[in-house]
Amino acid sequence: MSFLNLQSTRRIKAGRMLGVVAVLVAAATISACVPTPPSPPTTTVPPTTTVPPTTTVPPAVQGFGQPFDGVAEYAQYGPSQITRSAQINQPLGQKAADKLAKKIGLNKKDVLTKTQFAQLVSGRGINGNAQDAAIIDSSVRILTNTTGNPLYPEASGIAPIVLASYGLTVNTDGMLESPANATAPPREINQLLLPGGYINTWCLDNGAAKSLEMLYESAYTPEIPFATESQQITDFAQLATFQQAERTSKVGMSVIPSLFVINFSLIYMLNPKLAAKMPAYWAPIPTPVAQALAATGTTTGQVPYSEYASYFNAPA
Question: Is residue 11 helix, strand or coil?
Answer: helix
Which pLDDT score is estimated for 157? 66
Question: What percentage of the chain exceeds 70 in pLDDT?
Answer: 78
Closest CA to 150 of 164, 135, 137, 136: 164
Which pLDDT score is estimated for 2? 34
Q: Do the Cβ atoms of 121 and 131 come closer than 8 Å?
A: no
Q: At what angle do helices 130-143 and 198-205 cross, to 10 degrees?
A: 110
Greater pLDDT, 314 or 134: 134
- Tens of pLDDT along 297-308? 999 999 999 999
- Tens of pLDDT along 32-67? 333 333 333 333 333 333 434 443 434 455 799 999
Q: What is the DSSP letter of 63?
A: B
Is the bond preceding 67 in cis, omega lying within 30 degrees of 0? yes
- Tens of pLDDT along 197-231? 999 999 999 999 999 999 999 999 999 999 999 99
User: Alpha helix (H) ranges present in 33-167?
Assistant: 94-103, 114-120, 130-143
Closest CA to 162 of 176, 141, 181, 147: 147
